Structure 1
Amino acid sequence: MTGNEKGSHLLVAAFDFGTTFSGYAFSFRENPLEIHAKSWNDESYLSLKTSTCLLLDPEEKFHSFGYEAENKYKMLCEEDEHHSWLFFRHFKMLLHNNKKLSKQTTVKDISGKRRMFAIDIFSLSIRYLRDHFFSELQKKYSGIEETDIQYVITIPAIWEDNGKQFMRMAALQADIDNAKLTLALEPEAASICCQRITVDSKGKNFMSGLQYIVIDIGGGTVDITAHQINDNGTLTELYKASGGPWGGIYVDNNFLNFLDDLFGEQVMNTFKQNYLEDYWYMLREFETKKREVKFDNCHEQEHTYITIKLPLELRNMSKTQNGKVLEELIGSSPFSLDIVSKKDKIRVGVELVRKWFDGPVNGIIRHIEDLLKKPEVHQVSTLILVGGMADSPYVQEKIRYAFSSKRFIIPKDAGLAVLKGAVLFGHEPMSISVRVMRYSYGIEMFQRFKRSIHKSSLKKKVEGKAYVDNVFHVFVRAGDTVQVGQEITKTSSPINKESSVYPIYRSVSSDPKYTTESDCEIIGILSLRHVGQDDFKSRKIKLSMIFGNTELIVKAEEIDTEVKSSSTFNCLMD
């Protein structure tokens, strides 16, 4: 029995590895719904997630992760001792739509001057979460071994195959057993959480046949999936997962762009470099202030502005470098009618603050509008908002307003829905029974020319016979619904005596003809080393692709041989 099968573990531990915040939770097999989530202490408050930050010492060795790393680096900056240390944050976005991802991919530290292999940064972060979890577990429960634990790591549903493989490789490098590791798609995990941990005690929100869309608004990306609840309680995906880069960090970026426009980029860069603690404190405060913004505030004076405290050093630095006090800067800026200076604070008009939200939120709304036009989801009646940014009243209210005819569900602690659902998914990986393919997958074939099928311009003569090269031999088509674990096989012949190598192609088209088409691309290489070399031309090879899981599985084996051959599938660039 493998680690993914129900009943082979004592407990499930899930890591929600986010762009801005990360955390873990677990539950035991005997009572999976009793989920324990770790609380993290940061100097001023208690949080259910810690900051996704990693600090390495001058010897490039692990020092700390999360709030501990953040606070240590701030202290180093205050004492001007940070220059030889390496601090990393927001590095998860490196895996979003990165077609050149490889083991050699590097990530810059916060200074932008030094680089480390990304696989090491991810691995050290995962190792920290794993070790921290296991240490805390042993304090409360004795006798639990590593082999008793099924691990789950959450990933965005819109990640490509190479990002998924990269995350698994990072976990393996962190010494998590491959057989004890499951990757969970974040919006699917949230869907499972909302279904199992129902919003009302009678569970009326999630009855059989219900069709709904999950909108997971994280720090970096927004993942959107559409599900239907089956009679047996499992979920069917109605339409392929989609989404885009519209997460909370883009609201933060708009705020930082506003400060650049007000004070000047040079002032802000100098302030960040010399007063990092104050810079981060300002961002932390803005994180809190974001939750004060509403879609339709009343017109009382106290509700028309958002008050943001400005560090004294920033005001002084601005006066020194710009030759103007803050009030003069405001008066000469495009925001003169939107900002009021009050001692050590600025009061920013709520309409301006709303504009910082509107870029990413409008992107979400437009995407949902397009999705709801698809015939596969025309019966969707409910929208579910989860993820850290789903806690924002403005985001909630603006999306509600755009889709006023739909019923909305926003679970308590929406930012924990993915994490809790990932724990449940680890206990019951067959909670999702049917998925929709985002791409067509297949291999390249050399076929006999058929006038009714192939283009005459692609015809080639080989030993007097007409052939066509670069034919896309389809295993599954974009838009097809597949059962989880559905295996599709084809038969091929060995390429040479020693080994056979098969490029695996995909296409956004549901009917790709040739691998040379513009929307076709190689996503990985399947390699099979042959055990024997005699009569290799007469041998047959079974090529298999297994669909419907969170990760694509591709394998090959020789048929009619007593010696088992093994194959490897690699989605990462060399």
Structure 2
Amino acid sequence: MSNPSRPPYSGTQRKLVLAFDVGTTFSGISYSILDPGQVPEIRGVTRYPAQEHVGGDSKIPTIIYYDRQGAVRAVGAEAMRDGIEEQAEDEEWVKAEWQVAQHVSNFGFYSRFKLHLRPKSKSAGHVRETIPPLPEGKTAIQIFADFLRYLHQCAKAYIEETHANGPALWKGLEAQTYFVLTHPNGWEGAQQSLMRKAAAATGLIPDTPQGQARLSFVTEGEASLHFCIQSGLTSEAMKSGKGIMIVDAGGGTIDISTYKQTSAEVKSFEEIAAPQCHFQGSIFVTRKAEEFLETFLKGSRFVDDIPLIKKCFDKTTKLRFRKEDEAQYIKFGTLKDRDPKLNIRSGQLKLLGTDVASFFEPSVKCIIESIEQQCAASKTPIASVFLVGGFAASEWLFKQIKEAFSEKGLDVSRPDSHVNKAVADGAVSFYIDHFVAARVSKVAYGIDIHTNYQPTSPEHRLRAHTVFENDDGQIEIPGLFSTILSKDTTVSETTEFKRSYYLVAASPTDPILRLLSILIKCYKGSAKAQKFFVDTEPDDAFSTLCHVRADTSQLHISPRKSGKGRARHYRVDFDVILSFGLTELTAQIAWKENGVEKRSPAEIVYDLD
């Protein structure tokens, strides 16, 4: 992707940027070699081992085969070549992939391994119900690492083979290779931490602060925005001064992001609504079809053909279906396969168009409702919606979304080509061009606290049985949530959100004063108050984000007088500082010593359970 309006690379050192888009069903690689003073060009890897259409496809299936000893035997297009299933069965390989499957043969598991990294939210309950187990002895991190290693090998082979003096070029850039990994809009710090572990396990980067600095993340929605900008798709929409919406319809997730342009001169954008992520991608349409087939063909001689029928539906019917008043035919057998009662003739299964439409209904409804919610949340009117991603190729999906908003003045369009490389190319553009300067927080962030008991407060009196006396003699009441960053807040990359707290103890050597450990939580509810009681909200409104730790062992702590005849106590005042302007959380603990603010390099430990 060459862009003449992109300025020359201003760095002083040559580097390679590699973006890996590990998708639900397919994965891709894009890259750019940055030469000082030269305009960067984004390229895609279009040649992979065992790929049928060399040079014509920029993605490979997200599949890995393992043998019984846990060694990788086939990946990507290699895992789809003719005869692979027979070899896998003979040698008892196991298979890790994204596809939903209930009919599992004795040689393999169907495991959508990346979805095992997903946030464990209530809204993704249907994912938990259908997601198969991982291959025995393998963790999601290990499988993800193996797939990243394979993508890295493919990138190496492609660059060495297509560039002049390729092997020397690759070797010279190895220490200056920067990686960008994409992930769904709904993934946060915990999932990024797992992906970091996988990247370090592969040897892509050293597991050091310097090595970790060579790895960055971008949401699929923001990567798609960068692709649309660089492809010129947003130019007309931006002339009106209105906002644009990116609907990245992929295999597993639907990622929806909304932006407006804040500066035409430097192409600066900001989010104008909190991005959304829903597990309603194309694999769930296939799953609905499979459920229908299991019921429809139950007890018939064709029940064993369901995996094949589902595969044929996935490759043809799902993409070309466009009218619910037209019957759909799935070719799966021979002329001898016939059962008029089941609408099977000459090896073809006839499905009513209304039945096929019902398979799409949850995904269509989800997208329409999400677009409406984004429009309602944005203070800037939305002019255009861009439908990208592999699922965008569905004629029925595009038709339904376009018709739903045609009378509301909202233009819905999709790129006519290369939708499958939007995220990978956009991820490289994110690194180079960095168009988005401000984002909107999806949830609120804060910590649990206790506060002074106020006997005149009805809320406090209701919880009077929980009060306790602190080491400073104060009567305290626990169970409150203190918000540091509110939901739907626009955050620039330089914005810090700070709130002050303190801890007290009877001894200056008490561990709670010498190694501060603060548990930061996400709040997904609707309460707007800066401080409120946790028990007024449902349990699933809160989730643990991370622990922030800081070493204050060298801080001088003076004794303070305690009330009510108590001995002296010791107190540490500190600030918790959050920064969400980038695509990753950064957090610090700060305190003042002799009137000067000091900050500890905070350790962030994500809750990965």
TM-score in same-fold range (> 0.5):
yes
For the residue of structure 2 that corresponds to 1:47, the secondary structure is coil
* Contact kept in structure 2, 1:33 and 1:424, CA below 8 Å: no
- Which residue is equivalent to 1:230? 262
Of the structure 1 ranges 473-482 and 44-53, higher mean CA displacement relative to structure 2 is found in: 44-53
* Contact kept in structure 1, 2:447 and 2:482, CA below 8 Å: yes
For the residue of structure 2 that corresponds to 1:433, the secondary structure is strand
Which of 441, 447, 467 in structure 1 is aligned with 2:445? 441
Which of 509, 524, 544 in structure 2 is aligned with 1:522? 544
Q: Deviations over 1:348-369 (max 9, x none)?
A: 3333322222232122212323
1:215 aligns with 2:247: yes
- Which residue is equivalent to 1:63? 73
How far, CA to CA, are the matches of 2:46 and 2:458 in structure 1?
Answer: 59
Query: Which residue type is aligned with residue 254 of structure 2?
Result: V
Query: Which residue type is aligned with residue 484 of structure 2?
Result: F
Which of 12, 23, 40 in structure 2 is aligned with 1:32? 40
How far, CA to CA, are the matches of 2:514 and 2:199 in structure 1?
Answer: 32
The CA deviation at 1:249 is 0.3
How far, CA to CA, are the matches of 1:394 and 1:477 in structure 2?
Answer: 38
Q: Deviations over 1:128-154 (max 9, x none)?
A: 112221232233233342232221111
* Contact kept in structure 1, 2:48 and 2:154, CA below 8 Å: no
Matches within 5 A, 1:308-387: 308-311=330-333, 326-327=338-339, 329-330=341-342, 339=343, 341-374=344-377, 376-377=379-380, 379-387=381-389
How far, CA to CA, are the matches of 1:466 and 1:110 in structure 2?
Answer: 51
- Classify 1:43/1:554 alpha carbon distance in 2 versus 1 (closer, same or farther; 3 Å): closer
Matches within 5 A, 1:542-553: 542-553=575-586
1:124 aligns with 2:146: yes
- Classify 1:79/1:520 alpha carbon distance in 2 versus 1 (closer, same or farther; 3 Å): closer
- Which residue is equivalent to 1:50? 60
- Classify 1:371/1:499 alpha carbon distance in 2 versus 1 (closer, same or farther; 3 Å): same
TM-score by length of 2: 0.78
* Contact kept in structure 2, 1:55 and 1:87, CA below 8 Å: no
- Which residue is equivalent to 1:184? 218
Identity over the aligned pairs, expressed in percent? 22
How far, CA to CA, are the matches of 2:78 and 2:217 in structure 1?
Answer: 27
- Which residue is equivalent to 1:76? 87
For the residue of structure 2 that corresponds to 1:513, the secondary structure is strand
The CA deviation at 1:55 is 1.4
- Classify 1:53/1:283 alpha carbon distance in 2 versus 1 (closer, same or farther; 3 Å): same
Matches within 5 A, 1:467-506: 467-493=476-502, 496=512, 498-506=514-522
Q: Deviations over 1:301-354 (max 9, x none)?
A: xxx333322145xx99xxxxxxxx741551xxxxxxxx4x33122343333322
How far, CA to CA, are the matches of 2:229 and 2:85 in structure 1?
Answer: 42
The CA deviation at 1:15 is 0.9
Of the structure 1 ranges 488-497 and 440-449, higher mean CA displacement relative to structure 2 is found in: 488-497
- Which residue is equivalent to 1:567? 602
- Classify 1:80/1:307 alpha carbon distance in 2 versus 1 (closer, same or farther; 3 Å): farther
How far, CA to CA, are the matches of 2:260 and 2:487 in structure 1?
Answer: 19
Which of 429, 445, 448 in structure 2 is aligned with 1:424? 429
For the residue of structure 1 that corresponds to 2:512, the secondary structure is coil
Q: Deviations over 1:89-120 (max 9, x none)?
A: 422222333269xxxxx999978773521111
For the residue of structure 2 that corresponds to 1:478, the secondary structure is coil
For these two proteins, the number of residue pairs brought into alignment is: 530
* Contact kept in structure 2, 1:108 and 1:116, CA below 8 Å: no
Query: Which residue type is aligned with residue 65 of structure 2?
Result: L
- Which residue is equivalent to 2:411? 407
- Classify 1:446/1:56 alpha carbon distance in 2 versus 1 (closer, same or farther; 3 Å): same
How far, CA to CA, are the matches of 1:32 and 1:107 in structure 2?
Answer: 45
For the residue of structure 2 that corresponds to 1:145, the secondary structure is helix
- Classify 1:556/1:9 alpha carbon distance in 2 versus 1 (closer, same or farther; 3 Å): farther
Unaligned runs of 5+ in 2: 1-8, 95-105, 123-127, 206-211, 504-510, 559-569
Superposition RMSD in Å: 3.5
Of the structure 1 ranges 13-22 and 143-152, higher mean CA displacement relative to structure 2 is found in: 143-152
- Classify 1:406/1:173 alpha carbon distance in 2 versus 1 (closer, same or farther; 3 Å): same
* Contact kept in structure 2, 1:54 and 1:87, CA below 8 Å: no
* Contact kept in structure 2, 1:73 and 1:87, CA below 8 Å: no
The CA deviation at 1:558 is 5.5
Unaligned runs of 5+ in 1: 101-105, 273-278, 298-303, 317-324, 331-338
How far, CA to CA, are the matches of 2:228 and 2:589 in structure 1?
Answer: 39
